[in-house]
Amino acid sequence: MRSIAAAARAAERDAQRRHKQNQKMQMIADSTSAVEDWENYVDNLVSIHTDMADMIDWHKIAGQPRPSEPYQASDHRDRAEMALAKFKPSVFHAFRGGSAKVRSRLETQVEEAAARDQKLYQDALAAHAKAVAEWEEDTALAKRLVLGEAVAIRQVIEEMQSLSDTALVGTAIEFSIGENFVHARPKVHGDDIVPSMRRKQLASGRLSETKMPVGQFNELYQDYVASAALKTAGDLFHILPLGEIYVTCTANMLKPQTGHQEWAPILSVQFVRDSFMRLNLSGIDPSDSMQNFRHAMKFSKTKGFAVVEPLEPVSA
């Protein structure tokens, strides 16, 4: 009996040991997942600009030729007529109702084949008419865009809903159109979009959360705002044949004179197409990349952004 009791106690201790080990492994897995989630969120926050709208070559569209007229083919009728031409009366036709009946059936097949060819041609004409209508609409819009027509530019911007649907960029994007340029004004999120805590995994496997230093917090917000500006400019360069895009990011900031929150410009950039297209977007630091363009930004690691004057006056 003593040996049985000892074995039972040993089994219980072993079970407790396994339970503690499983708990530790789960704790480590949870900590790893929490750190990875935090890192992914921060990475996504400062790399909004790496996901652009699809490129549209409006110059190429403007020069596209009119769709070719459909060809009226007679393949089905030709095959049926060939079968009729090869027909020769035979004694075996008696089993199929006689030669006259077989010939009549072949003649009917010729008529049906001709009707099938005509139906295919009519379908091709309808598809061609639709293609021509789309071609006329697309080439007309492309030519207007290439000429810098403001109404056409606004039409494309309004159709490309992805510009305002990107949740990370901000709450809305306003646009004004000038002479061969667009001035976009995204309302970016406040600095509460940046995590206030840092996460890391200790050597023991436990999760450590500490308050993020002010300098790092402000620099992350700066990179987010710059990334939003790059994303906005890149989308517009991709969907419009323009050489310049102005982007002025506005944030809801406390105005000391009134004590109220007001939308104010904190970053204004004049993006030039050639310089923008040469950027390695996946490898740049968003804030540092602003040095490639004429821009207005007042920023300090201790205080964050200050209000700036937009490079381009805001117009309707």
For residue 315, tell me if it sits in a domain.
Answer: no
For residue 313, tell me if it sits in a domain.
Answer: no
Closest CA to 142 of 76, 239, 246: 239
Measured distance between the N- and C-terminal CA atoms of the chain, rounded to whole angstroms: 93
Q: Are strands 260-272 and 294-296 parallel, antiparallel or unpaired?
A: antiparallel
81/228 same-domain check: no
Q: In whole angstroms, what is the distance from residue 47 CA to residue 286 CA?
A: 8
For residue 311, tell me if it sits in a domain.
Answer: no
CA-based radius of gyration for the chain: 35
For residue 59, tell me if it sits in a domain.
Answer: no
Per-residue pLDDT of the chain (316 residues), as tens digits, is: 556 666 656 666 666 666 566 665 665 556 677 778 878 888 889 899 998 888 999 999 999 999 888 777 777 777 767 766 666 666 555 555 556 676 677 777 767 777 887 888 888 888 888 988 999 999 999 999 999 899 999 999 988 765 555 677 888 888 998 888 899 999 999 988 888 877 776 776 676 778 888 999 999 999 999 999 999 999 999 999 999 999 999 998 877 777 778 899 999 999 999 999 999 998 999 999 999 999 999 999 999 999 999 998 876 5
Q: Of 86, 113, 146, which residue sits at a domain end?
A: 146
CA 69 to chain centre: 35
Q: Of 97, 113, 146, which residue sits at a domain end?
A: 146
Q: In whole angstroms, what is the distance from residue 47 CA to residue 224 CA?
A: 8
pTM: 0.77
> Residue 193 in contact with residue 224, Cβ under 8 Å?
yes
Q: What is the DSSP string of 216-227?
A: HHHHHHHHHHHH
Residues present in the chain in total: 316
86/115 same-domain check: yes
37/169 same-domain check: yes
* Chain position carrying tokens 């000429």: 147
234/292 same-domain check: yes
Q: Of 146, 179, 206, which residue sits at a domain end?
A: 146
CA 100 to chain centre: 67
| Domain hosting residue 282, numbered range | 2-53+160-306
Give 3-state DSSP helix, strand, coil % of the chain, rounded to 5.
55, 20, 25
Q: In whole angstroms, what is the distance from residue 229 CA to residue 258 CA?
A: 28
What SS3 state is found at 180? coil
39/106 same-domain check: no
Q: Is the dihedral of CA 71, 75, 77, 78 positive or negative?
A: positive
> Residue 300 in contact with residue 239, Cβ under 8 Å?
no
- Edge to edge, the sheet with strand 260-272 lists 172-178, 181-187, 244-255, 260-272, 294-296
234/141 same-domain check: no
Tokens at 158, concatenated: 């309004």
CA 257 to chain centre: 41
Mutual orientation of helices 214-239 and 2-45 as an angle, nearest 10°? Answer: 60
Q: Which stretches of the chain are DSSP H helices?
A: 2-45, 58-62, 75-85, 99-146, 150-159, 162-165, 214-239, 273-277, 286-289
Domain count across the chain: 2
